Amino acid sequence: MTAYSRNKPISFDNHWMPFTANQDFAQNPRLVQSAKGMHYLTPEGEEILDMTAGLWCCNLGHGRDEIADAVHGQFKELDFAPSFNFGHPLSFELSERLAKMLPGDLNNLFFTNSGSESADTAIKIAYAYHDAKGDTGRKRIISRQRAYHGVNFCGVSLGGLTANRRAFGQWLPVDHLNSTHDLSRNSFTIGQPEYGGADMANELENLIAFHDASTIAAVIVEPIAGAGGVLLPPKGYLKRLREICDQHGILLIFDEVITGFGRTGKAFAAETFGVVPDIMTMAKGITSATVPMGAVACRDFIKEAVFSTSQGIEFFHGYTYSAHPLACAASLAALDIYDRENLWDRASGPVGDKLQEALQSLKDLPRVIDARGMAFIGAIEFEPLEGKPGAIGAALLKECWNQGIMIRGLGDAIAVSPPLIMEEAHIERFVDGFRKAVKVVLD
């Protein structure tokens, strides 16, 4: 297979691609060369409908001139400033703006460059808080099976996806809640599942009794587990986790790397589900993925405790590119667009409803055992093929590409998380192409 860039043939020998079957890709490359709005364009000029907002991240769609102008202007004015011991105004402006958007008193922002770095940072903040209080034994974290918190050793330790754990093991004291999803009672649900929330949350009490609360720093959950298969929290689940954490002095962390910035129909899933965590991680939609950026927000009592113990450096942590001026400029421009175009409301409105109805309508396809989701995120799950568990998602990703659609394959499920600008016509196009792809793959 030969492909071209700027009229020169491309070699597939040197770029080792992440989470990709590299050798297979070199035989059947899926290249995108440009993008605008809801579409990518291949080098051959074919249109690919972006039903995944890139990787759950281009929430504003592609090619936003306003962000390009803001980044360009910032580059000319100040290309870089260290944020260890020095500051630049945009980082403070962005922190203030995010603090106003975030629920409760999640008023304190620490900047990173990715979701994985945000997970590391959140756990370090939890440790710093307990240490400041003299609770130095609290180092264990409780996470969940099927969780994804990125790929650094912290994220892998927290994570609950078997393949990732098998590859790199566990490097922090983490235990995992087992129950994630009761498909037998909740299949084909739009929105929060009805059953199992309290039982699932009460498993936390067993783990606390087992390890003792005095050893546990935090519980971390994605409000909707994304990479694990778009698993929505059953009714009452997050509220009950909040109660149990409060009873035992354990911090509650929400990983909103996917759910933040409108995906669930509000700015953050914490608002959608009515539960405020103590620490929240974010990334992706914060700049609509135009410039890498992540952030961690924490509540006032955490910052106050950590700051109270030191007059010098309070927190021995940071990244060269924390609060990079170009990322701050991109984020401020992105937040302007979210506001002006009212995009959270759009996600919770009729187009989001239409997307969910469309996913439910695919129930008649062969082997479909579930369709689920809310607002602008959803999944369809298939009964695995005999002897080939986990194969359907990857096969559908490839065949959907042939049909001009980008989706995400997650084991035997597929996920969609389109940009918040999607129109009804795009949903129709998706349904049509997806039906054809399933026919090719499963016939």
Give the footprint of ligand PLP on this chain (CB under 6 A): 114-116, 119, 148-150, 222, 226-227, 255, 257-258, 283
Tell me whether residue 414 or residue 438 sits nearer to ligand PLP (CB atom).
414
Per-residue tokens: 53? 């907002």
Please report how close the Cβ of residue 305 comes to ligand PLP at its closest, in angstroms: 25
Which residues fall within 8 angstroms of residue 44, CB to CB, at 6 or more apart?
none
How does DSSP assign 274-300, residue by residue?
T---SEEEE-GGGTTTSS--EEEEE-H
Please report how close the Cβ of residue 123 comes to ligand PLP at its closest, in angstroms: 12
Radius of gyration of the chain (CA): 22
Please report how close the Cβ of residue 283 comes to ligand PLP at its closest, in angstroms: 5
Tell me whether residue 101 or residue 119 sits nearer to ligand PLP (CB atom).
119
Per-residue tokens: 429? 């196009």
Tell me whether residue 56 or residue 437 sits nearer to ligand PLP (CB atom).
56
Please report how close the Cβ of residue 137 comes to ligand PLP at its closest, in angstroms: 27
Alpha-helical segments (H) within 249-390: 269-273, 300-308, 325-340, 343-348, 350-361
Instruction: Let me know if 394 is exposed, middle or buried by CB neighbors in 10 A (0-12, 13-18, 19+).
Output: middle
Please report how close the Cβ of residue 386 comes to ligand PLP at its closest, in angstroms: 30
Tell me whether residue 226 or residue 265 sits nearer to ligand PLP (CB atom).
226
For residue 278, the tally of other CB atoms under 10 A from its CB is: 26
**CA–CA gap between residue 229 and residue 104 (Å, rounded):** 29
Contact 410, 394 (CB under 8 A): no
Tell me whether residue 403 or residue 417 sits nearer to ligand PLP (CB atom).
417
Please report how close the Cβ of residue 376 comes to ligand PLP at its closest, in angstroms: 15
Instruction: Let me know if 104 is exposed, middle or buried by CB neighbors in 10 A (0-12, 13-18, 19+).
Output: middle
Contact 208, 202 (CB under 8 A): no
Per-residue tokens: 399? 């065949």
Please report how close the Cβ of residue 227 comes to ligand PLP at its closest, in angstroms: 5
Tell me whether residue 18 or residue 350 sits nearer to ligand PLP (CB atom).
18
Question: Among residues 158, 143, 114, 112, which one has the least CA distance to residue 18?
Answer: 114
Query: Cα 54 to chain center, whole Å?
Result: 12
Tell me whether residue 119 or residue 400 sits nearer to ligand PLP (CB atom).
119
Q: What's the start-to-end Cα distance of the chain, in Å? A: 27
Tell me whether residue 327 or residue 368 sits nearer to ligand PLP (CB atom).
327
Tell me whether residue 132 or residue 293 sits nearer to ligand PLP (CB atom).
293
Please report how close the Cβ of residue 269 comes to ligand PLP at its closest, in angstroms: 11
Residue nearest to ligand PLP (CB): 115
Please report how close the Cβ of residue 284 comes to ligand PLP at its closest, in angstroms: 7
